[in-house]
Amino acid sequence: MMEINEELLHGCYAVQTYRTSDPRGVFSKPFSRQGNHRFEQFACAEFFYTTSGRDVVRGMHLQLGTALLDKFVFCMHGSVLDVLVDLREGPTFGQVASLNLTADVPVGIFIPRGVAHGFLSQSEHSMIGYLTSHVHVPALDAGVHWRSIAFDWPVQAPVISSRDEALPPIATFRPILPADTRTV
């Protein structure tokens, strides 16, 4: 059963998930719709994961238009500093939240439509799993430059993709309309 630990941003939740271990190893259930009404309508359309080395920064990403999606992210290996920025129109636009995620602590983050996501890998090898409510549409990828949000990234020599370096600053991002951001 999943239990909400805290609301990080409006509609973004840190979620306690199930994990147990014995001498054989670990059994983990990072996501279940059952038992929490907030997630009963979340239908996973796609699962993917990323691997990263230390000091890799990925973000800040989201999908637009008909590909707006809800995400549930969790750390499968290593540790990351997960960062969120609200890009929905209204008084919460630009608000930022962060949470450390590690493979050893069974916590994930539910991220609603209109909130961009990124992270800093804090271990030599990290793996983040993503459940998404819509299939990824590359033509509808969007985001804002990771350094343009109100967040002090704790990294001296970040490893960044050219795609992420080319994202526009948050100051030029057109907010996502509330009607487009219905969440579960």
Write out the catalytic residue numbers. 61, 130
CA 135/CA 146 separation, integer angstroms: 24
**In the numeric block, which tokens belong to residue 135?**
């299939």
CA 42/CA 32 separation, integer angstroms: 10
With CA atoms as reference, report the closest residue to 133 among 150, 112, 154, 117.
112
Residues with Cβ < 8 Å from 179, sequence gap 6 or more?
Answer: none
Amino acid found at 172: T
Are residues 15 and 7 in contact, defined by beta-carbon separation less than 8 angstroms?
no
**In the numeric block, which tokens belong to residue 116?**
């961009």
Q: Which residue has the tokens 């948050």?
A: 170
